């Protein structure tokens, strides 16, 4: 399947369809989700849990995510404001959008929005390193563009049971490196390239015992 740059284009079928064998044609792929057709052949989605010991466990069925809806993209975003990102699956069939609520045990986190001055305005391409005790969490800011979807331009860091970030390092695309010590958790911060201070945009409720 090709996808023309012109979203209003109508591409004619190149030959007669073999409808008895299930062939079909959608003249505008941009409107495929509204066509009622499904390209998935009913493959089921897969979800694998990292056990942090070098292995992964298949939790596709227990998570409820193994639906046959022809998933084409996956984007995470915290719509509940509790620091636990939900999962959005964009589908070409079986319903255009499915949202899976995050029901894992609550954990501490840190969200970062970057504002570049020498770098690009959203800090795209920045690398973030977060040290909490013996654990090091690394992320890069690359808002991934998928099929009819895009990730938010922010960095989410899962911190487990850590109640304070010992050292936060940001390596900007310009080459500038910023460090912050003893950064509080469970909040959304805005960090500006070249500034020694950060701004708290929001805070999540404290995690109970």
The model's pTM is 0.73
Burial of 69 from C-beta contacts in 10 A (0-12 / 13-18 / 19+): buried
Q: Where are the domains of the chain?
A: 1-37, 48-100, 108-203
Mean pLDDT by 10 residues, the chain (209 residues): 61 83 79 70 80 89 80 84 86 75 89 94 94 92 78 89 93 95 93 91 70
Separation of alpha carbons 26 and 35, rounded Å: 7
Separation of alpha carbons 202 and 208, rounded Å: 19
108-203 fold: Immunoglobulin-like (2.60.40)
Which residues, in sequence order, are CB contacts of 72 under 8 Å at separation 6+? 90, 91, 92, 146, 147, 148
Query: What residues does 192 pair with on adjacent strands?
Result: 115
Q: What is the pLDDT of residue 5?
A: 57
Confirm if 109 and 204 have CB atoms less than 8 A apart: yes
């Amino acid at each position: 399947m090709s996808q023309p740059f012109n979203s209003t284009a109508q591409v004619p079928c190149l030959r007669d369809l073999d409808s008895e064998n299930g062939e079909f044609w959608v003249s505008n792929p941009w409107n495929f989700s509204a066509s009622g057709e499904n390209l998935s052949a009913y493959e089921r989605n897969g979800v694998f849990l990292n056990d942090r010991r070098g292995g992964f466990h298949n939790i596709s069925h227990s998570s409820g995510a193994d639906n046959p809806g022809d998933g084409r993209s996956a984007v995470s975003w915290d719509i509940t404001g509790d620091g636990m990102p939900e999962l959005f699956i964009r589908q070409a069939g079986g319903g255009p959008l499915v949202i899976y609520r995050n029901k894992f045990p609550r954990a501490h986190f840190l969200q970062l929005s970057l504002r570049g001055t020498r770098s690009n305005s959203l800090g795209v391409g920045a690398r973030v390193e977060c040290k909490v005790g013996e654990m090091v969490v690394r992320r890069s800011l690359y808002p991934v563009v998928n099929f009819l979807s895009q990730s938010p331009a922010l960095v989410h860091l899962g911190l487990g049971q850590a109640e304070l970030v010992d050292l936060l390092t940001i390596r900007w695309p310009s080459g500038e490196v910023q460090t912050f010590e003893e950064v509080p958790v469970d909040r959304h911060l805005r960090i500006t390239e070249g500034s020694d201070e950060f701004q708290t945009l929001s805070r999540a409720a404290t995690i109970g015992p």
